[in-house]
Structure 1
Amino acid sequence: MTRHLYSCPLRWSDMDAFGHVNNVVFLRYLEEARIDFMFRLAPGDGSPSFSGGSVVARHEIDYVRPLVHRHEPVVIESWVTSIRAASLTIAYEVKDHEGADEVYVRASTVVVPFDLEAQRPRRITAEEREFLQRYVPPAADGAEGADAQEAVAA
């Protein structure tokens, strides 16, 4: 399975009074990784995919272990677990580096493509679906992969 990798720097201001990265800051980290995935890596040269707008419908975050400030960035691995007609779900793991066993956060975000002019959700285009499917785990990866494959077909 292909995962999108984003190197996310830690900022001194990310820490809270307890000396670790504040729980709310992780939402910003996930946003940075999601934007890098959806907009800079959008399919096609000059493609308008995803650039028309999107909104977050849901976040789910499991804080696995505290992350203290350091000079090295964390790596955020992202992949797609569900593609529906007008939404997709992106899963994340925040780690020390690609393939690391130390996971700080596991999360997911439901994203809805949004038509900014019409001010309403829109359907995922064929081009977007083709791009996203590269990041869906194969069914052989277990239940999550099977659910994602089923959702892709929906």
Structure 2
Amino acid sequence: MMAGLGPLLASLAAMDVAAFTRRLKRNAILYAMVLLFLLTAYGLLVAALAVYLASIWGAPMALLAVAGGALVLALAVYLWVVIANGAEQRRKREAAASNSSKALMMTAALTALPLLVKSRPLLLAAVVGGLGFLATKTMGASGRRYSEPAE
């Protein structure tokens, strides 16, 4: 039965991959056309702004104003990217520090394991401590303290 199911699943996967690649190509072409039209509109808007400002201030000042505006926008986007990258790097460092402390605790626990296995009293204390830790975690997760009366 499984031998007959394999080719069916393979053909189903092949149809999905073919549909996916067809959709990907179509979307790439359509998004490229949208980008072309957006860039054309942007260029014409900048040209219209330059013509309008040229009628008010003159051509050299209008072009300087448009160039200055573009420079300010580019600087703002650059600063935004730098700040976002810095925040991402900080999050990565914090996650790495957290993971390294967990790895250090696991290494310490694995290092102490042979000692615990050889000594019966230490093994019993470790098991009781682990169960106590799990019990406090479970009680803390329920959100109810046992000192409060249940209603």
TM-score when normalising by structure 2: 0.22
Structure number with higher helix proportion: 2
TM-score when normalising by structure 1: 0.22
When Rg is computed on C-alpha atoms for both structures, the one with the higher figure is 2
More relative contact order, 1 or 2 (CA 8 Å, 6+ apart) = 1
